[in-house]
């Protein structure tokens, strides 16, 4: 029995039942193994969880890096990164749900092994936004915080996105990209139409 099949089954079970409610017996039954045989491949449910979290981040990182190497302007590269990310979450729904919702279930020792992967992934987003800032495109004082904001919006889609919904993952990502890159404010166009609402300075806000 290949480890891949076990991880596939575990991702589905964890995403449906939650990590703590799922058991090694559930996983063994799903792949038609005796529970004792399952322990031949993984020593514990925690080890399976770590493998799933690492696999999920590896898939997302690989897809993101494919975008980062493209010769695109910073804003278009950020847009394509968001589209790629959300489409990957939609493609790997069970694995993504485990990665984004069950990472806190990892015990401290194993979490320490996983965190460097997560930090590297977040740095890629920070650097992507930093490129736009350096090019004078973004008014962003903290690229790391902006990256977390983007990821927070995209990540939460794992709780509500449905493949049979009214919008595709790409359409949703395009809308989110428009929101982050252009904002909600109406801007004055060259023809003089449209308005730009006045926003109080930071010191004046309550």
Report residue 147's pLDDT band, with 50, 70 and 90 as the boundaries: very high
3-state helix, strand, coil in the chain (%, to 5): 70, 0, 30
Give CA separation, 100 vs 13, 57, 107, in Å: 15, 10, 16
pTM: 0.84
Going from N- to C-terminal start, the domains of the chain cover: 50-182
Q: How confident is the prediction for the chain on average, in pLDDT?
A: 88
User: How many other β-carbons are positioned within 10 Å of the β-carbon of residue 17?
Assistant: 12
Question: Per-residue pLDDT averaged across 50-58, rounded?
Answer: 96
pLDDT at position 202 is 37
CA–CA–CA angle 64, 70, 73 (5° rounding) = 105
pLDDT given for residue 200 in this prediction: 40
DSSP assignment letter at 43: S
What does the block give as tokens for 51? 């493998």
Average pLDDT over residues 50-67: 96
| Residue 114 pLDDT greater than 80, yes or no | yes
DSSP secondary structure string for all residues of 86-140? HHHHHHTHHHHHHHHHSGGGS-HHHHHHHHHHHHHHHHHHHHHHHHHHHTT----
pLDDT value at 204 more than 80: no
| Predicted confidence (pLDDT) per residue in 19-34, tens digit | 999 999 999 999 999 8
pLDDT digits (tens, 9 = 90+) for 168-183: 999 999 999 999 988 8
Extract long-range pairs of 178-181: CB within 8 Å, 24+ residues apart: 180/78, 180/82, 180/149, 180/150, 180/153, 181/75, 181/78, 181/79
Where does 50-182 sit in CATH, by number?
A: 1.10.357.10
């Amino acid at each position: 029995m290949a480890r891949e099949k076990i991880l596939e089954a575990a991702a589905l079970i964890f995403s449906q039942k939650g990590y703590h409610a799922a058991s090694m017996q559930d996983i063994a039954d799903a792949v038609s193994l005796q529970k004792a045989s399952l322990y031949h491949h993984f020593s514990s449910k925690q080890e399976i969880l770590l493998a799933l979290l690492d696999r999920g981040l590896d898939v997302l990182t690989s897809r993101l890096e494919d975008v980062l190497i493209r010769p695109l302007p910073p804003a278009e590269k950020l847009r394509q990164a968001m589209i790629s990310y959300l489409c990957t979450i939609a493609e790997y729904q069970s694995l993504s749900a485990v990665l984004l919702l069950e990472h806190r279930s990892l015990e401290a020792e194993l979490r320490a092994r996983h965190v460097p992967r997560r930090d590297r992934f977040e740095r890629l987003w920070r650097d992507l936004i930093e490129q736009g800032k350096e090019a004078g495109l973004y008014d962003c004082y903290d690229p790391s915080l902006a990256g977390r904001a983007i990821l927070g919006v995209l990540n939460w889609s794992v709780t509500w996105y449905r493949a049979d919904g009214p919008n595709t993952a790409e359409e949703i990502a395009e809308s989110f990209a428009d929101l982050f890159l252009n904002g909600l404010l109406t801007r004055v166009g060259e023809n003089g139409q449209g308005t730009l609402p006045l926003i109080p300075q930071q010191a004046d806000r309550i």
